[in-house]
Structure 1
Amino acid sequence: MVLDDTLLDDPARLAEADSAGLLRATAMAGAQVRATTELAAELELADRLDVGRPRALVLLVRPGVSRTATQLLAALLSPACPVPVVVSDTVPGWIGTLDVVVGHTDDPGDRELAASLERAVRYGATVVLSAPPEGPVAASIAGKGILLTPRIPVPAELTFPRALTAGLLAANALGLLVANLVDLADRLDAEAEKNHLAHESFVNPAKALALRVAEHTPLLWGLDPVARAVAAHGAHAFAMHAAVVCDVSDYRQALTRPVLHRAAVGSTTERDIFADPTDPAGLPQPRVLLLSVRSGPGPDALRHEAEDLLTGVDVLAPAEEFESDEPTRAAVLALRLELASVFLGLAAGSIGAAAGTRP
């Protein structure tokens, strides 16, 4: 990766490099939340899901951001959810009238999903689907399920806020989770403003994060299950926009890999600023990012333990910046990682105008 770090603090060049408008589209996360919430209200989603406690909540996983959004929703629901939460690629064979199915896809022609949803509605399950309005997928639940179509046009790789909002709306309506969608949209707007391309890197958290990750191998280690799910989305974003491969792990699991953990400890110690950033084998050094969403005695104790071992480690903990519920903290952290990945991709030339000029 050849990084042009001067690009990040030159708004005019940065805007020119972002020929596809990815920064603007990413910053529309709050708008996606509001649009999806408004559509759900128009479709009377809350009333239609007022059917009592379901036998099971089935969360469908499809390629793209559907996977990371579903993993995050499942983590937010656990461990206190009063009904079984089943994460599956397709609708299980035992689906019935007492079950609720929630899913997101950006592929209107996903025939495997369409056939699966047809089976769900045929057996009387309640279906909430976030998907485009045309194609076999939408047709599979026409007149029988609740279809939340996109109202904010963004590339498929940036629909994570819409996918998550659809799941949160369903969980709220079923009484399985309490998420403040108004606050969520406002916080996402505030995060986008904080990370505006005109703000210099020393006051722009996403730019600063991009520079910290550059020319390193990011180790995205979650201090709680929700943070671990956000880390998975961050890894997806870094791979998608910046061609950067990340390690994703629960911090306790990371402790069971002694060689990598030892390298991580070494990477957080004081280094010579003139030292070669690569190791003797020419490989990028690891950069540990500890992610924290939940708070309380358990998560806080684990964080203190990690900070004692990893001196000077980067900790991304939204709870230190603002007060809000877990879904909002998780979504804001996911957005910061997405923006950092776009900034890094633009500075490295893996996306944007520079990428288009490469052979």
Structure 2
Amino acid sequence: MLDDSLFDDPDRLTEADSRGLLRSAALAGAQVRAAAENVRDAGFDDLADGRPRSLVLVSRPGLGPGVCEVLAALAGPSCPVPVIVAETVPVWVGPLDVVFAHTPDPGDPVLADGVATATRRGASVVLAVPEDGPVAASGAGRAKVVAPRIPVPDELTFAHVFTVGLSVLVALGLTRCDTDQLADELDREAERAHPGQEPLMNPAKALALRLADHEPLLWGVDRLATAVAGHGAYALGVHAGLACDVTNHAQATTRHALYRSVRESGSDLFADPDLDQGTTPRVFLIGTRHDARAENEERAATASLPSADLIVPGESAHADAVLRVALLALRFDLAAVYLGLAAGTLGGPGRQALAVR
């Protein structure tokens, strides 16, 4: 249950958001600009000295796993460089490898040991980590450390970590991105999601209302969309206390009992949701529509699950995979904060408000 009346009252929203999480989430564009400037200062040009043997994306606990999966999906199956997502720095890294890692914990001993090994063996190492602490120091001055400059909670630093990792892909010639355009698009998304915007015009509030009182099944229509769904599940768990199922639609179809159950529940036109006890599973198909193949996979998934709720960046967004992924990630962050405020899971007055309704 949640106090959805909170979404129609900007003053109460501001009061509930005592930690300023909505404002922090809205600084995603600023995070991109700051990260891009710091990347230029660090100099990533030498990462492209010859084709590396591999690119290793180290996904430490936090939002790192979601970011790394998004980056690997952006590189794509035809990437000329093997892209490996790992929880720790592999023991085989050497001078021909590039390592990217993120952690919000400046003292992460596992990552510190891995970075020390990688730099000692001559690997190129890029770290999106705080500049003080054992992890940064373990690079022995040879790792490129790009620390966050915009003061926001660790769980809302997707834009920073994503920009640093994306800059590695760009330096290696594996993708392209205009960071100024990316920052501008995120600013526009934040404006659309401003607390003063009513739910019908606010994509984050609308998404929060769609997710409320359900067990979300976040099923991506392709690998890239599934990676974004993973970040969405992380955000909803952090802020709204929701446990989400995340997989790709093709895999979901093989879980026959669950798939049949959600198809049949959505086909009952006479079902009364007010009579349901507790939360019920609901499929949210995540799509990016960044190319013809992604659109075809989305059409196939929606045809198979016509009652599913479709989450896409919006028709106004550019047909660019990087921009569309970043927009969806920010929308999930903002929706999760809105939902947490209304449900009282962030410690605000939402829970007390429920008691007097």
- Per the TM superposition, whether the score is higher than 0.5 is yes
> What one-letter code is carried by the residue in structure 1 that aligns with 2:336?
S
Give 1:266 shift: 3.2
Q: Which residue of 1 aligns with 2:146?
A: 148
Poorly superposed stretches of 4+, deviation over 3 Å: 266-275, 294-298, 355-358
Aligned to 1:276, the other structure's residue is in SS state: helix
Cα offsets for 1:314-338 (capped at 9, x unmatched): 2122263321421111111111111
Partner of 1:227: 225
1:17 aligns with 2:16: yes
Contact 1:226 1:294 in 2 (8 A): no
2:308 to 283, 307, 313: 313
Flag structure 1 segments of 5+ consecutive residues without an equivalent. Answer: none
Specify the code of the residue in structure 2 equivalent to 1:174: L
User: Who is 2:322 aligned against?
Assistant: 327
Please show how residues 1-359 of structure 1 align to structure 2 within 5 Å: 2-45=1-44, 47-269=45-267, 271-272=269-270, 275-276=273-274, 278=276, 282-318=277-313, 320-354=315-349
- What's the offset of the Cα at 1:306? 2.3
TM-score by length of 2: 0.94
Q: Judging changes above 3 Å, is the alpha-carbon distance between structure 1 residues 107 and 355 closer, same or farther for their aligned structure 2 residues?
A: farther
| Counterpart secondary structure, 1:167 | helix
Q: Which amino acid aligns with 2:260?
A: R
SS state of the match for residue 344, structure 1? helix
The CA deviation string for residues 173-209 of structure 1, in whole angstroms up to 9 with x for no partner, is 1111112222211111111110111101111111111
User: 1:294 offset after TM fit, Å?
Assistant: 4.2
Identity %: 49
Amino acid in structure 2 at the alignment position of 1:345: G
2 CA distance for matches of 1:253 and 1:5?
A: 34
Q: Using a 3 Å threshold, how does the CA distance of structure 1 residues 166 and 294 change in structure 2: closer, same or farther? A: same
Cα distance in 2, alignment partners of residues 87 and 307 from structure 1? 30
User: Would the alpha carbon gap of residues 102 and 277 (structure 1) be closer, same or farther in structure 2, given more than 3 Å must change?
Assistant: farther
Distance 2:18 2:327 in 1: 25
Alignment partners' CA distance in 2, 1:68 and 1:353: 27
Distance in 1 (alpha carbons) for counterparts of 2:159 and 2:195: 20
CA change 1:12–1:174 in 2 (3 A) is: same
SS of 1:200 mapped into structure 2: coil
Distance 2:202 2:233 in 1: 20
Contact 1:91 1:116 in 2 (8 A): yes
User: Which SS does the other structure have where 1:350 is aligned?
Assistant: coil
Contact persistence 1:132–1:149 (CA under 8 A): yes
Answer yes or no: is the 8 Å Cα contact 2:342–2:351 preserved in 1.
Answer: no
Q: CA deviation at 1:42?
A: 1.6
Give the Cα–Cα distance (whole angstroms) in 2 for the partners of residues 270 and 204 of structure 1: 29
Q: Does the Cα contact within 8 Å between 2:106 and 2:132 map onto a contact in 1? A: yes
Structure 1 residue matching 2:127: 3-state secondary structure: strand
TM-score, normalised to structure 1, is 0.93
SS state of the match for residue 154, structure 1?
Answer: coil
- AA aligned to 1:23 is L
Map Cα deviations across residues 89-122 of structure 1 (whole Å, 9 max, x no partner): 2221111111111111110011111111000010
Contact preservation (8 Å) 2:263, 2:307: no
CA offsets 1:281-332 (integer angstroms, 9 cap, x no match): x342222211112444433333222222322432122263321421111111
On the 8 A contact 1:216/1:285 being kept in 2, the answer is: yes
2: distance between equivalents of 1:196 and 1:111? 39
Aligned residues: 353
Partners of 1:86 and 1:277 lie apart in 2 by: 47
- Amino acid in the other structure paired with 2:146: L
Alignment check: 8 A CA contact 1:58 1:86 kept: yes
Query: CA–CA distance in 2 between the matches of 1:307 and 1:23?
Result: 32
SS in structure 2 at match of 1:256? coil
Contact 2:63 2:155 in 1 (8 A): yes
Shift of residue 355 of structure 1?
A: 7.3
Deviations 1:10-53 (A, max 9, x none): 000000000011100011111111100001112222x2323121
Q: State whether residues 263 and 286 of structure 1, in contact with CA within 8 Å, keep that contact through their aligned partners in structure 2.
A: no
Rounded Cα–Cα distance in structure 1 between residues aligned with 2:57 and 2:199: 38
